Amino acid sequence: MPELPDVEMARRLLERALLGARITSAVGSDRVILRPGSSRTLSRIAVGRAVQAVERRGKWLRVMLDDGARLFSHLGMTGEWITAGVDEPSARFERARFEVTKGRSRRSIRYLDARRFGRLLATKDDIAAWRELGPDPLTDGLDVETLAAALGRSARRVKDALMDQTLVAGIGNILATEALWHARIDPRSRSDRLTPKDVGRVVRGLRNAIERQLTAREKAGGDEPRESFAVYGRSGEPCRRCGTSISRIVLGGRGTTFCAHCQERRGAR
């Protein structure tokens, strides 16, 4: 599942391709991706409009058009955006395509999605999914006191709470796992048992994990280099901090790796 760093890389690609460009064609070939809209709605709202901004909040992308309309994109599990020449044939798993002009240049911007869990919406106003998102760690920053108050109202496991998009936008299994390792907090800890100092460490851990993954993706051309992970996907390997074998459990239906020795547990469920 794409997380904040992956979606930020997609935003940067779209910004380079779309900012200041005019959309000359918009076609969506998949009703599942366009739900609850249609290819006709996509074309009616987007064609002829110039792109004024390409934004991201959490795992959502928002393309602002010059008349105030907007395009929303969620990558789901396997979605990605690519650029191509206008005469290039359809790519495998292509679900939507925009053709744009920018000066004398013409480009094709295409959305690919093998499993079709993504969404692409053309609207006149913001959608509820965008309005309900919590603060974005990269664009809004995270306030320790505000996050501590929110976590203090829940007895959920801290990893589950961090993945609540209304609490913190953009955090998924990988970032939560990595951030808690950096913070030395056991992912099974109860949210309401974390001290303000603990929450401060979690915030720093999130910043660290996001920065490391963005840097690694930039160097790798957008791919997800395994070496950028301190603990995620490293079950059975020695902890990079203390050497203890990394444990793996399932929390909320997701595989979770952590160090049982140097990640302290706060409160038992």
pLDDT for the residue 27: 96
Residues 10 and 117 in one domain: yes
* Same domain, yes or no: 179 and 222: yes
Q: Exactly one of 44, 184, 254, 265 is catalytic; which is it?
A: 254
Residue 46 burial (10 A CB sphere; 0-12, 13-18, 19+): buried
Q: Which of 131, 153, 171 is the last residue of a domain?
A: 131
Count Cα atoms within 13 angstroms, Cβ side, for 33.
Answer: 30
Both 154 and 248 in one domain: the answer is yes
For tokens 């995620």, name the residue. 232
Q: Which domain holds residue 20?
A: 4-131
Within-domain flag for 263: no
Q: For residue 49, give the CATH number of its domain.
A: 3.20.190.10
Domains of the chain: total:
2
In a domain, 137, yes or no: no
CATH of the domain at 152: 1.10.8.50
20 & 106 share domain = yes
Q: Which of 103, 131, 159 is the last residue of a domain?
A: 131
The two structure tokens encoding residue 85: 């020449």
Residue 180 lies in a domain: yes
Judgement on whether residues 11 and 75 belong to the same structural domain of the protein: yes
Query: Which one-letter amino acid corresponds to residue 26?
Result: A
Pair 127, 165 in one domain: no
Per the annotation, the verdict on 3 as an active-site residue is yes
Residue owning tokens 């796992």: 177
Asked if residue 165 and residue 79 are part of one domain, the reply reads: no
Q: Is residue 122 part of a domain?
A: yes
Asked if residue 254 is part of any domain, the answer here is yes
Residue 241 included in any domain: yes
Q: Within this chain, do residues 110 and 176 fall inside the same structural domain, yes or no? A: no
pLDDT reported for residue 220: 83
Q: What pLDDT is recorded for position 247?
A: 98
Same domain assignment for residues 117 and 177: no
Identify the pLDDT of residue 1: 75
* Whether 254 is catalytic: yes
pLDDT tens, 123-178? 999 999 999 999 999 999 999 999 999 999 999 999 999 999 999 999 999 999 99
Q: Are residues 228 and 109 in the same domain?
A: no
Under a CB-based contact definition with an 8 Å cutoff, are residues 238 and 246 in contact? yes
Q: Is 239 part of a structural domain of the chain?
A: yes
Q: What is the pLDDT of residue 226?
A: 74
Contacts 24+ apart (CB under 8 A), 142-149: 142/168, 142/203, 142/206, 142/207, 144/196, 144/199, 144/200, 144/203, 145/196, 147/199, 147/202, 147/203, 148/194, 148/196, 148/199
In a domain, 269, yes or no: no
Last residue of a domain, one of 131, 165, 187: 131
Say whether pTM exceeds 0.75. yes
Choosing from 59, 110, 190, 217, the catalytic residue is 59
| Residue ranges in the chain modelled with pLDDT below 70 | 222-224, 268-269
User: 12 with 126, same domain?
Assistant: yes
Q: What pLDDT was estimated at residue 223?
A: 67
The string of pLDDT tens digits covering residues 186-203 is 999 999 999 999 999 999
User: 105 and 150 share a domain?
Assistant: no
Output the pLDDT for position 18.
98
